[in-house]
A and B are shown apart, each in its own frame.
Chain A
Amino acid sequence: MLQNNAGANGVKSRHFGTNGSFGKGRQLTHVIQREHSDKETGEGIEPPPKRRLPRGVPDKVAARWEGYKTIVHLDMDAFFAAVEQQHNPALRNKPVIIGGLPGYRGVVSTCSYEARVYGVKSGMPSAEAYRLCPHGIFMQTDGHKYTWVSVEILSLLKQFSPTVEPFSIDEAFIDISGIWQRYGSPADMVNSIKDAIKGKTGLTCSAGIGPNKMIAKMSSGMDKPDGLTEVHPERVPAFLENLPVEAVWGIGKATGKALEKVGIDTVGELAKTDRSLLKRLFGVAGLALHEIANGVGDTEVTPFYQKPNEKSIGHETTLPKDTASVEILTANLRMLSERVGRRMRKSGFEARRVTLKFRYADFSTFTRAKTLSGYIRSDTAIFHQAMRLLKENKQRTDSIRLVGISVSKLRDTYNSFQEDLFRSSGESKLSCICETMDKIKDSYGDNAITYLSTMTRYV
C-alpha cells in the first residue's frame, strides 16, 4: 500500500485511491495552507515535528520494492527563501519574498511558507505580492548563493547514490534501486537523505518515491513541506485515479482544457479512454498522454557527470519600464543574446533554432521561433535572428514589458568541424570573436567586456 507520513497536525493519513478526497490538487493546497496559518497564529511556538515513516519498516513492506526500479525525486522547500532564512536567523518565521523588489518590476521567484499564508505565490508580480503582504521582507535573488548551496546538496546526494540527476537548482532525481536495501527500505533511505541535507544545510525538502521519474516527481509535491510520499508500483493506478489531468507532470493548461472539453477530468478517466480516440484528438501526443495516465514513465536517471541533455537555453528580462522604444528593445535583445550565446558555448553547443518571446504591457505574450538552415554559435547571429523575429511579428506599437530569447535544436560543437569549412565566413569570424570574448570573461569576469549597443538598455 501507499505510505505517507502524517502532516504537521498529526491527524491526516492519506491513502490515495481509497480516499479520493486528497487526490485533488486544489484541496491539497488548501490543507497545506491551513497548516501554516495554524503555525502563524501560534507565533513563537515551534510546530510539532512531522512524523516520519517508521524506521525499520517490516521486511515484508520493504521487500515489496524488491525487483522494481526505485526512483526518488527531491524538491527543496521554498528553496531561495529557506536559504536566506537559514543564513539570517532574523528572517526565520517571517514572510520572506525573493524576486523583484516592491518598487520595481519583476516577479516573485520564491517565497517562504509564512508569505504563502498571505496568498503570495511564485510567478506573481512583485507589486501584487506587496499588496498582499506589505510587511513581507522583499529581497533580490542571489544566484551565486543558491547555486552554491545547490551544489553542496548535490555532492551530498552523490554520497548516497552514484545516479543523481540535477533537475533544476532545487530539484533532483536519484535512482536508489538496489541501494536502499542497506537502509532497510526506500523510505528509510530517503529519510536518511533528508536528515543529511537538514544536518548539513539546515534546509528541508519534500521527497517522492516511485517506480519512475514521473510518479516520483508527482508524489514529491503531495506533502510539502518536509514531506515524504511513497507510491509503490502496484499503487500507481490508485494514486493517479482521482488526480485532475492538469496535475500530471507534462500536461499543461491547454491540453488540460482540451481534455476537459471531451469530458476527461481525471487521470483515471484518461487512462480508460480509447487510445485511438486520443490519437485522433491529439495526434502522437495523445498516445503519450495515454501512457502517462497509465503510469508509464521514464526511469532513466542521467547522472550529473554526463552531459546534461539540454533541450534549450534561454534568458528573459522584465524591462525596467514598459517601452516601445526600438533602441531599448534592441539593446536588451543584444544583452540577452550575449548571455544565451555565452551559456550555449560554455555547454559546448551550437543551435539551429532561435525563439523570441515578448510580452506587451497588457500581459499578452507571444513566442515566435525560426529554424535555420545551418547551426549558429555567435551572439550576433542569435541577435540578428531575434531582431528579425521581432520585426516580422511585432504587429502592435504598444509598449513591451518583457523580452526573452532562447536557442534550441542544439548539438555538440565537436560535430561541426567539417561543416566549418563551408560555414559562411561571416559567422566563422563572429564565432571567433565570441570565443575570444568568452576567454576574457573567463579571466576577468562577465562584465569585463560587452557590446557597446547593450549600453542603451536603460535609456
Chain B
Amino acid sequence: MYQDINEAVNVIALFTKGKITPIKFQWNNKPVKVMQVTGKWKSSNGRFNIRHFTVIDESDNFMQLSYDDQQLAWTLDRIWVDPPERGRAKKSR
C-alpha cells in the first residue's frame, strides 16, 4: 500500500531542454539512487505547475517525487510498502 511521506527532500536532477530527470536524492540521511523514472506528469495549480515523478531505486523500491515550479522545491510524496503476506485468497472466488 502507499504510505504518504510528504517530506521536503534534496534532489540532484538533470534539467535538459524542458525535461527534468531526478538522479539521486537524500532521504532519512541515506542517499537514494534513481534507477528508473517510470512515470511523469504535471498538475497545474493556476499559473504554477507541480511536476510528478514515479521512480524506482536500486532495491526496486517505488517512490513518488514532486517538483514545485513556484517554490523550486522537491517533495517525497509517497512510497510503496508491500503489504504483509496474509492468508490471501482464503475465500476463493
Task: Tell me which residues across on chain B come within 8 A of A251, comparing CB atoms.
Answer: none
Give bound CA distance, A358 to B54, whole Å.
Answer: 38
Q: Are B93 and A117 in contact (CB under 8 A)?
A: yes
Known contacts A89-B56, A117-B93, A118-B93; A444 and B41 CB within 8 A of each other: no
Q: Are B43 and A87 in contact (CB under 8 A)?
A: no
Return B44 CB to nearest CB of chain A, in Å. 8
Asked if A384 CB lies within 8 Å of chain B CBs, one says: no
Interface of B is mostly: strand
Q: Are A137 and B1 in contact (CB under 8 A)?
A: yes
Interface of A is mostly: helix
Closest to B45 in A: A445
Give bound CA distance, A117 to B91, whole Å.
Answer: 14
Give bound CA distance, A86 to B91, whole Å.
Answer: 28
Known contacts A86-B38, A90-B80, A144-B42; A442 and B93 CB within 8 A of each other: no
Task: Tell me which residues across on chain B come within 8 A of A144, comparing CB atoms.
Answer: 41-43, 52
Asked if B62 CB lies within 8 Å of chain A CBs, one says: yes
Return A151 CB to nearest CB of chain B, in Å. 9
User: How many B residues have CB within 8 A of the partner chain?
Assistant: 25
Asked if B39 CB lies within 8 Å of chain A CBs, one says: yes
Task: Tell me which residues across on chain B come within 8 A of A135, comparing CB atoms.
Answer: 86, 88-89
Asked if A145 CB lies within 8 Å of chain B CBs, one says: yes
Return A112 CB to nearest CB of chain B, in Å. 15
Asked if A83 CB lies within 8 Å of chain B CBs, one says: yes
Q: Are B62 and A88 in contact (CB under 8 A)?
A: yes
Bits for A102-124, please: 1 = Cβ < 8 Å to B, else 0. 00000000000000011100000
Q: Are B43 and A444 in contact (CB under 8 A)?
A: no
Asked if A10 CB lies within 8 Å of chain B CBs, one says: no
Task: Tell me which residues across on chain B come within 8 A of A83, comparing CB atoms.
Answer: 39
Give bound CA distance, A292 to B69, whole Å.
Answer: 51
Task: Tell me which residues across on chain B come within 8 A of A89, comparing CB atoms.
Answer: 38, 56, 60, 62
In residues 58-89 of chain B, which contact A (Cβ within 8 Å)? 60, 62, 80, 82, 86, 88-89
Asked if A134 CB lies within 8 Å of chain B CBs, one says: yes
Return B24 CB to nearest CB of chain A, in Å. 20
Closest to B82 in A: A90
Asked if B47 CB lies within 8 Å of chain A CBs, one says: yes
Give bound CA distance, A380 to B40, whole Å.
Answer: 37
Task: Tell me which residues across on chain B come within 8 A of A15, comparing CB atoms.
Answer: none
Asked if A441 CB lies within 8 Å of chain B CBs, one says: yes
Q: Are B46 and A443 in contact (CB under 8 A)?
A: yes
Contact of A442 among B39, B40, B46, B89 (CB under 8 A): B46
Task: Tell me which residues across on chain B come within 8 A of A148, comparing CB atoms.
Answer: 40-42
Closest to B2 in A: A139
Task: Tell me which residues across on chain B come within 8 A of A6, comparing CB atoms.
Answer: none
Task: Tell me which residues across on chain B come within 8 A of A444, comparing CB atoms.
Answer: 45-47
Q: Are A119 and B93 in contact (CB under 8 A)?
A: yes
Give bound CA distance, A134 to B92, whole Å.
Answer: 11
Asked if A149 CB lies within 8 Å of chain B CBs, one says: yes
Give bound CA distance, A268 to B31, whole Å.
Answer: 66
In residues 83-106 of chain A, which contact B (Cβ within 8 Å)? 83, 86-90
Closest to A145 in B: B41
In residues 121-177 of chain A, which contact B (Cβ within 8 Å)? 132, 134-135, 137, 139, 144-145, 147-149
Closest to A88 in B: B62
Q: Are B39 and A145 in contact (CB under 8 A)?
A: yes
Give bound CA distance, A189 to B86, whole Å.
Answer: 46
Asked if A448 CB lies within 8 Å of chain B CBs, one says: yes
Give bound CA distance, A90 to B93, whole Å.
Answer: 23
Bits for A438-453, please: 1 = Cβ < 8 Å to B, else 0. 0001111110100000
Task: Tell me which residues across on chain A come within 8 A of B86, comparing CB atoms.
Answer: 135
Task: Tell me which residues across on chain A come within 8 A of B89, comparing CB atoms.
Answer: 135
Closest to B36 in A: A89
Return A122 CB to nearest CB of chain B, in Å. 18
Task: Tell me which residues across on chain A come within 8 A of B82, comparing CB atoms.
Answer: 90
Q: Are A87 and B46 in contact (CB under 8 A)?
A: no
In residues 65-88 of chain A, which contact B (Cβ within 8 Å)? 83, 86-88
Known contacts A90-B82, A118-B93; A441 and B42 CB within 8 A of each other: no
Give bound CA distance, A448 to B42, whole Å.
Answer: 19
Binding site for B on A (CB under 8 A): 83, 86-90, 117-119, 132, 134-135, 137, 139, 144-145, 147-149, 441-446, 448
- Given contact pairs A135-B89, A144-B52, enumerate 14 new A-B contacts (beta carbons under 8 Å): A88-B80, A89-B60, A89-B62, A90-B62, A134-B91, A135-B88, A145-B39, A148-B40, A148-B41, A148-B42, A149-B39, A149-B41, A444-B47, A448-B46
Pairs across A and B, CB under 8 Å, 25 listed? A86-B38, A87-B38, A87-B39, A87-B54, A88-B54, A88-B62, A88-B80, A89-B38, A89-B56, A134-B91, A135-B86, A135-B89, A139-B2, A144-B42, A144-B43, A144-B52, A145-B41, A145-B52, A148-B40, A149-B39, A442-B47, A444-B45, A444-B47, A445-B44, A446-B46
Q: Return the 4 tightest CB-CB contacts between A and B, nearest first.
A: A148-B41, A87-B39, A144-B43, A445-B45
